[in-house]
Structure 1
C-alpha cells in the first residue's frame, strides 16, 4: 500500500479553485443521512484477483458486515466473479482500477493491449510491480486508456460498476493520473473513491499539511458539483496492521485480534460518510504461493463475519451503506 496522498500537494497547480474550509454539514448529511451519524461503506478490495479473493469477498458480504467490493479487471478470476454477480445483481460492485501487478509469480497485463500502453508494461510483459515504476514509465494518456479499457471490459461482460477506486493508490500518485481518474468518473457518471470532507482519519494517516487538506476539499467540491457523491473520510490502514506475534495463530485468535482492530477503528471515526478498506480472502493452499499476506486477508474475512463486530455496529447506531445507495441519494439532491 502506498500513501494515497504522497504527491498530492502539487495538485495545487492543477486545481486553481479557491481553497476553503471543510463543508458543513458533512457530505453524509447532504446525502440525507441523519446528522451526527457514522455512515460506513465497508469495502473489500482485490476481487477477481484469485478464486480465494472472490470467495472471501462474497462471504464477507453475504455472511458478514461488508457492504461493497471492487474488481481487478485484468486478473484471471474476473469471469468467475462476474458470473456470480449476474446471478446476484444486488451486490455493490465497482472497479478496482489496476495499473500494477505486484506479485512475483502470479501476474497480469494491461487490458488496452501492450502495444497501446507500452509505458505500463514491464520486461515480463505484465503491468509494473510498483507504483513508483508506473510513475516513472507511464504517461497520463496511457493510464487513461487503461482505465477506459478496464471499464469497457466490465461493460462488455454485462457488469455496470457502481463506483471506481484505485489499486495500490496508483491513480493518486501524480496530479495527472488523478486528473484522468476524476475525468473518467465525471464523464461516465460513475462515483470515484475520493475523501473530500473533514478527512479526520486520513489526515492523520497521510500526515497531511493544512494546504493539502484544503486541497482535498476543493477536489471534493468539484466532484460534488459534477453530481457525484464524496466521502467525508477514508480508513485505509488495515492492510498494515501488525499481526499477533504467533507465527501461526489459530483462526479464533486471528479473528479476535482483527475484530478488535476494526472496532477500535470504527470507534475513532468521526460522523460522516467513510469508506473502510479491507482485503477479505478465504485462502486455499494456493493463496500463500501468490502472496505473503494470507493471514492479513483471512483475518479481515474472519472479522467481517464475527457476530461481535456486527453487534458493535448495531449498538453504536452505525449506518452501513453502499456506493449504489449514496449515488442514488446524490441524484436526488438538487
Structure 2
C-alpha cells in the first residue's frame, strides 16, 4: 500500500510547509495519553462483506481484544451488522471505503450507481476487481462521488462513521485519489487512516525511504492542523501471515501461530498511537466459495480471543483505544 504513496507524498510535499523531523511528542501524547505508552487501535477490516465476517467481528469484539472495525458499505451483509450495531450502541464503526470487488463469484457495485460513476464499473456492472484496474480507469471525480455515496448510506442507515480507511489500499494508489480521500475526511470532520508520525512499523513493512517518511509526516501535520487525530504508526502485516508451515495443522496450532505473531508485532511497536489491522472471520461452509483467505482470517479471530494475547497486553501496560476516543480527545485540544 505505502509504496504506491510515493507520488502522492511528493505532491503533498510540494504543497506543504517544511516540517522536517519526527515531532518532539507523539500524536498519542498530544492527545493526552501517557508519555512512552503504546496506545493501540485493534482494528478489523471487511465488516459487512459476508455473514462470516460479521460473526467473526462480533466474536472478536465481545470475547477478544479487538476495539474497532470498518464496514464495506456496498456489500450484502452490511444491513445485518448495522442492525447489530443499533442494538449495541457506541461501537467504533468506521467505513472501509470500497472501490474494488475482487472475488470472482461474489461481487458488488458502486453505491453512487453506474450512471454516476461509470469509470469505476467493469463489464459485469460491478466495481473493478483490482486496484490496478481502478487506477487505469477511475477518475478522481468518480472516486470522490463514490466515497461520499458510501458515507451517505452510512448516515442514511443511522450511524455516523468514526473514521475512514481504504479497502485494498486503493485510495493510496494515486496522488489524485488520496487528495480526495483526505479532502473528504477533513471536510466531513471524519478521521482518516493515515500514518503520519514516527511510522516505525510501517516503514519497515513497506521499505519506506527517508524522503517518503518525511512526506508522511507532512501530511500527518496537515490532518492534525485540520482538527483530526493522526496515527503515529500503522501495523499492516497480518494478512500475509497465512498459517503454520506444517500440513494438517489444527485450530490450536493456527491460534498459537497467529497469537505469537501478534505478540511479536506489539512487542516491536514504539510508543504512540498505532492501528493494528486484521480480518476476523468465523468461516462456515459457504466462505470457501467466496475466498480462499478463510484460514488467515480465522487465525486473526482465534488470536483476538486467545487469553495469551490479552495477558500480554495487560502485562505490558498497552492501552487499547478507539478512533472515537481519539477524536473526542482531539476535539478538546484548541
Measured against the shorter chain, the TM-score band is: over 0.9
> Which is worse superposed, 264-273 or 236-245?
236-245
- How far apart are residue 24 of structure 1 and its match? 1.5
Please name the residue that 2:42 is paired with: 42
Please name the residue that 1:84 is paired with: 84
Q: Is the 8 A contact 1:8 1:172 kept in 2?
A: no
Q: How does 1:130-279 map to 2 (within 5 A)?
A: 130-279=130-279
- How far apart are residue 196 of structure 1 and its match? 0.1
Give a deviation string over 1:96-138, Cα, whole Å, max 9, x none. Answer: 0000001111100000001111111111111011101000000
Give a deviation string over 1:285-323, Cα, whole Å, max 9, x none. Answer: 001110010000000000000000000000000000000
The number of residues matched between the two structures is 332
- How far apart are residue 333 of structure 1 and its match? 1.1
Give a deviation string over 1:149-186, Cα, whole Å, max 9, x none. Answer: 00000000001111010000000011110010000100
- How far apart are residue 20 of structure 1 and its match? 1.2
Counterpart CA distance in 2 for 1:88 and 1:139 is: 38
Please name the residue that 1:119 is paired with: 119
Which residue among 6, 9, 14 is the counterpart of 1:8?
6
| TM-score between both structures, scaled by the size of structure 2 | 0.98
Counterpart CA distance in 1 for 2:232 and 2:9 is: 19
Say if 1:53 and 1:188 are closer, same or farther in 2 by CA, change over 3 A.
Answer: same
Give a deviation string over 1:8-63, Cα, whole Å, max 9, x none. Answer: 24532344212411212000000000000000000000000000000101110110
SS in 2 for 1:276: strand
Asked if 1:128 is matched to 2:128, the reply is yes
> Which is worse superposed, 176-185 or 8-17?
8-17
Counterpart CA distance in 2 for 1:254 and 1:164 is: 30
Please name the residue that 1:325 is paired with: 325
SS in 1 for 2:170: helix
Q: Is the 8 A contact 2:7 2:174 kept in 1?
A: no
Say if 1:247 and 1:101 are closer, same or farther in 2 by CA, change over 3 A.
Answer: farther
SS in 2 for 1:5: helix
Q: How does 1:260-299 map to 2 (within 5 A)?
A: 260-299=260-299
SS in 1 for 2:299: helix
Q: Is the 8 A contact 1:9 1:212 kept in 2?
A: no
Question: What 5-or-longer segments of structure 1 have no aligned partner?
Answer: none
Q: Is the 8 A contact 1:44 1:278 kept in 2?
A: yes
Counterpart CA distance in 2 for 1:312 and 1:223 is: 32
Question: What 5-or-longer segments of structure 2 have no aligned partner?
Answer: none
- How far apart are residue 82 of structure 1 and its match? 0.3
